Structure 1
Amino acid sequence: MVVVQGFKVPLPHPSSLTSSHHPHTSILFEPSSLSLALTHTDSSLSLYPSFSPLSPSPSPPHTQTLNIPSPSSSSTFLLLQQHPSAAPAVIFLVSSPYRSRILLRLYRLRDPSSFERVTRVLCLHKDLCFQPGLGVILDAKHGAAVRLAASVNYFALHALSSNKVWVFAVKDDGGGGNDDGSGSGGVRLMRCAVIECARPVFSLSVAFGFLILGEENGVRVFGLRRLVKGKSGNKRVGNSKQLRNGVGVRGGGLEVANCNGDLEGKMERHGVAAVKQTHVKSKLDDRDGGSCFVVLKGNEVNTNSVTKVSMSIKAISIQAVSQRMFLILDSHGDLHLLSLSNSGVGVDITGNVRPLPRTMKVKSISVLPDLSAMSQTIWISDGYHSVHMFTAMDIENALNEVDGNDCNEKLLRLPVVRVLFSSEKIQDIISLSANSVLILGQGSLYAYEIS
């Protein structure tokens, strides 16, 4: 017998009451530390450590809710792991406009009960400046929109006004604490690559060693390792000028320990590591640097003319399902499955996309990739009052059934395992585990568990 339990999740009041009068608009959840971030309508954030919505007391009394003042334009969780055997540190990263430039604020989970601002960031490039009272200032126009996406040790930043994507590496610097005894360990911030985008970017994902840009009519996939390490020598990219497609070092001296095994540098004078970033120009058919562009199947509109007009679609959300599978939500509310493969170690990526059957017009998707599980649970919402649940195993079985059939017109059928209904209109969903989901309604949070 399947039992579905649903209950409203009480939230502790923020340490500052400024955001308590503003409803929530989106949620982020970091499963390894049970950290929850709520974005409010005034663009401020509330950060909750050790948040367990499925327990009788969702947040222990001793935990401290951190209120991050507005404005904020984007935010993400980043895991900082220097050794495979060590538990990763959790960093919460927030972008904001600051005098038309981009401000990055970093907060570190110091223990299970509190986040603290990172008060020391060593920046290794001239266009990066750290000010203790503010954060890291990137000398680039903030503009109308900035997007952040992060994984283990790396994050990517897209600025719409600059038509660029920056890839950064984060490394622990001192680890144990500040010289002043405040207990907030410093970090080292290194810019690894800059991608000049010839086409608009609508979404961003960094996961399982891939950087994926959601564009019009498709997605562009970069191998993160090759993008960071680059290739030696100069390479002509499309019709662009000669670019150094690699990581250069200058100076000499002590070698710095690799960051996640992918970033190498040498110590300059004064102990500052010098890493020259990869510079890439993004073209529609460019496959240099281990990248590829995978086309989404567009919708066709019948007109009175003989020809059909193809409507452009935008990849507005990208969610990792496994190491090689990604779900793509387009601007028409349809889902696509992206499957990636490498033709060899360190060489170009290949991929293909299959459209999934349209059960409804999807507004939001959420997946919690777990490599230890046999299959991942996928949650999709129509943005109104329903959430549908299915698994990655269902997708693979459906694809195998279609591929093994001689009839090319055989439809892909995807069974929905469960459907949840909410009394409030759904704004956002977050997968908590294989059998539980967190739903953000009109100002309230609800947790559902299926057993």
Structure 2
Amino acid sequence: MVIVEACQLALPNPSLSYPFPPPHITSFLFDPNSLSLALHHSDTSLSLYPSFSPLSLSSFPPPSSLIPAPTSSAAFLHLHHPSSPNPFSVFLTTSPFHGGTSVLLRFFMFNPTRKVCSKLRVRSTHRDLKVDDKRFGVVFAVSHGVSLKLEGGSNVFALYSVSNSKIWVFAVKLVTEFEEVKLMKCAVIDCVFPVFSISIKFGHLILGEENGVRVLPLRSLVKGKTKKDGRVNSRRNVNVGVEKSGSKLHNGLIQGPNGTELVVYPNRHRVHNVEAAEGSLTDELYDGVEGKTGKHTESVKLRTMKFRLGSKECGECFLAFNIEEAKNLEPSKKLEKPPKAISIQALSPSKFLVLDSTGVLHLLSFPSSARGSESPYQMKQLTQKMKVCKFSVLPGAQAVWISDGQYTVHEIVLPDEETSNSETDGKEEVKRAIFTSEKIQDVVLVAIDAILILGQGSMFAYATS
């Protein structure tokens, strides 16, 4: 017998100082590592709740921190540090600065002992990153533009600018617990086509584009090309050619279709244990970025890595939703109204779920049996019939919670690919469904057996045992 525990929480008024009516909650972010919740308000402000336990609450407590508007994007970031066996959770936000001519990056750390969220001082030596101690942040000297997208991982995060058509990859190092971090810019990616979603998990940077996703190895972006003997190439100039449709830029760099111009820092030392057991980069990557002495100066020259899209040596690859149709097209042509990859979430180090703009879920996998083949990745459409608006997964679990954006949430169980051989096998199974009294805005798994649902005026929590 399955026992279900449920509760309903009325959404809080973020501040009594707001004029009537107060801004409503549009979406939320939950961090399973610190059990912390961030509520997005319609005026772009945010409320932070560390150590949030919805099933033990009768009403929402006052937020630990209120980040005022305007806030353009936000993400959770996990920092590994030798002093702690568990990663530290950091909340990162961006805001337009100086009339939108720059971007303000701010960091907040959740203190599990004090159960509060505190601002972090930021240190950086890059010329285009100016520390602003008054605002507890750093000003990034690039135009904010119409929209920014943040995605956090382990010790690294990615920032995508729609207006600039660029993705910046940063490494973050914890200098002092709950007090200070160091910010290092590792890579700059020029995007030819729009990017609609980003995932930076388990050692991969995955970009959601039209009709598919593009997979880039995160280690190459942060550390550069690794030699066969394990040492990191300090020259940082990997020239393996470009596709015929590529074009040469004025500065001599090579850019392919949806190509990249990667500007990264040289690495002078071998880094041991670069990837943790779950496949994400650990704190030891900083020895590769800064050198073992931990020193970094602006006299270090930027090196450029050039690579061909889909080249085996660099490991970059594009996976289309409709693979057969994509094969018959010229590189310069596009599909008519192709679906866009609007959400990417990690199931495991070798499996990711991708939601396209038509409401279809796709399974992106890195099967070990395909290692060394022309494409080490596979893309498969799931068989579920519901038009999905929102979905949520937890790494290591086979269950996926999906919603059509109306009044129901369904739990589906993905098949075990290792044991499914026939076409009748290998199909998802609907395990259970939840019906709500309010239209669903967002869903997120907080544990393998617990889910949070954001309605129009309430938050619903369900746990099974």
Shorter-chain TM-score category? 0.7 to 0.9
Change (3 A) 1:11 1:435: same
Partners of 1:55 and 1:244 in 2: how far apart? 48
Rounded Cα–Cα distance in structure 2 between residues aligned with 1:220 and 1:325: 14
> Does the CA contact (< 8 Å) of 1:15 and 1:65 recur in 2?
no
What are the ranges of 5 or more consecutive residues in structure 2 without an aligned counterpart? 226-232, 254-260, 275-281, 326-334
Kindly provide the CA deviation profile for residues 157-202 of structure 1, in whole angstroms up to 9, marking residues without a partner as x.
1011111111111101233xxxxxxxx5111000111111111100
Q: Distance in 1 between matches of 2:373 and 2:171?
A: 22
Superimposed CA distance per residue, residues 86-136 of structure 1 (whole angstroms, 9 cap, x where no aligned partner) = 332221001111122221111112344211111x21113111111112321
Question: In structure 1, which of residues 377, 384, 405 is the aligned counterpart of residue 399 of structure 2?
Answer: 377
| Distance change (3 Å), C-alpha of 1:329 and 1:378 | same
In structure 2, the residue matched to 1:247 is: 265
Distance in 1 separating the partners of 2:308 and 2:384 = 31
Shift of 1:146: 0.6
1:3: Cα distance to partner? Answer: 2.7
Among 165, 168, 183, the alignment partner of 1:166 is 168
Name the residue aligned to 2:220.
226
Q: 1:439 aligns with which of 433, 440, 453?
A: 453
1:80 alignment counterpart:
79
- Tell me the CA shift for residue 396 of structure 1: 2.3
The reply to whether residue 68 of structure 1 matches residue 50 of structure 2 is: no
Q: Secondary structure at the residue paired with 2:39?
A: strand
Asked if residue 45 in structure 1 is aligned to residue 46 in structure 2, the reply is yes
Structure 1 residue 326: deviation in Å?
0.3
2:143 matches 1:129: no
Structure 2 equivalent of residue 396 of structure 1:
416
Letter matched to residue 229 of structure 1: K
Q: Is the Cα–Cα contact under 8 Å of residues 81 and 89 in structure 1 kept in the other structure?
A: yes
The yes-or-no answer on 1:261 pairing with 2:284 is yes
The AA in structure 1 aligned to 2:457 is G
Moved more, 214-223 or 75-84: 75-84
* Native 8 Å contact 1:235 1:245 kept in 2: no
Q: Partner residue of 2:356?
A: 330
- Quick one: which amino acid aligns to residue 364 of structure 1? K
Aligned to 1:54: 55
Identity %: 41
Superposed displacement of residue 363, structure 1? 0.2
Q: Does the CA contact (< 8 Å) of 1:205 and 1:319 recur in 2?
A: yes
Q: Is the 8 Å Cα contact of residues 192 and 276 (structure 1) preserved in structure 2?
A: no
Counterparts of residues 34-433 of structure 1 (less than 5 Å):
34-56=35-57, 65-83=64-82, 86-98=85-97, 99-100=99-100, 101-110=102-111, 111-118=113-120, 120-134=121-135, 135-175=137-177, 184-231=178-225, 232=233, 233=235, 234-236=237-239, 238=242, 239=246, 240=248, 241-242=252-253, 247-248=265-266, 260-263=283-286, 264-266=288-290, 272-273=296-297, 279=304, 285=310, 289-297=314-322, 311-341=337-367, 350-370=376-396, 375-391=397-413, 394-396=414-416, 400-401=419-420, 404-405=421-422, 413-433=427-447
How far apart, in 2, do the equivalents of 1:26 and 1:413 lie?
A: 31
Q: Which moved more, 1:346-355 or 1:126-135?
A: 346-355
Corresponding residue number in structure 1 for 2:257: none
Rounded Cα–Cα distance in structure 1 between residues aligned with 2:89 and 2:295? 26
Offset, 1:450: 2.0
The CA distance in 2 between the partners of 1:84 and 1:197, in whole Å, is: 38
Greater share of strand residues, 1 or 2?
Answer: 1
Describe the SS at the equivalent of 1:38.
strand
Point out where structure 1 has 5 or more consecutive residues left out of the alignment. Answer: 176-183, 301-308
- C-alpha deviations, 1:241-262, integer Å up to 9, x for none? 4578763269x9xx9x996222
SS in 2 for 1:353: strand
Supply the AA of the counterpart residue of 1:35. Answer: S
Confirm or deny: 8 A CA contact 2:452 2:461 kept in the other structure.
Answer: yes
The alignment of Structure 1 onto Structure 2 pairs a total of residues equal to 416
Separation in 1, partners of 2:289, 2:380:
40
- The one-letter code of the counterpart of 2:453 is I
Letter in 1 for 2:238: K
Displacement of 1:435: 1.5
| 8 Å Cα contact 1:194-1:280 kept in structure 2 | no
Q: Which residue number corresponds to residue 180 of structure 1?
A: none
User: How many angstroms does 1:367 deviate by?
Assistant: 0.9
1:272 and 1:347 map into 2 onto residues whose CA distance is: 39
Change (3 A) 1:104 1:412: same
The 3-state SS of whatever aligns with 1:228 is helix
1:142–1:246 Cα change, 3 Å: closer
Per mean C-alpha deviation after superposition, the further-off stretch among 80-89 and 429-438 is: 80-89
Q: In 2, Cα distance between the equivalents of 1:347 and 1:91?
A: 38
- AA aligned opposite 2:95: S
| Contact persistence 2:6–2:55 (CA under 8 A) | no
- Alpha carbons 1:298, 1:310 under 8 Å: kept: no
User: Residue 43 of structure 1: CA displacement?
Assistant: 0.6
The structural deviation recorded for 1:50 is 1.2
| CA distance in structure 1 between the partners assigned to 2:285 and 2:197 by the alignment | 24
Letter in 2 for 1:433: A
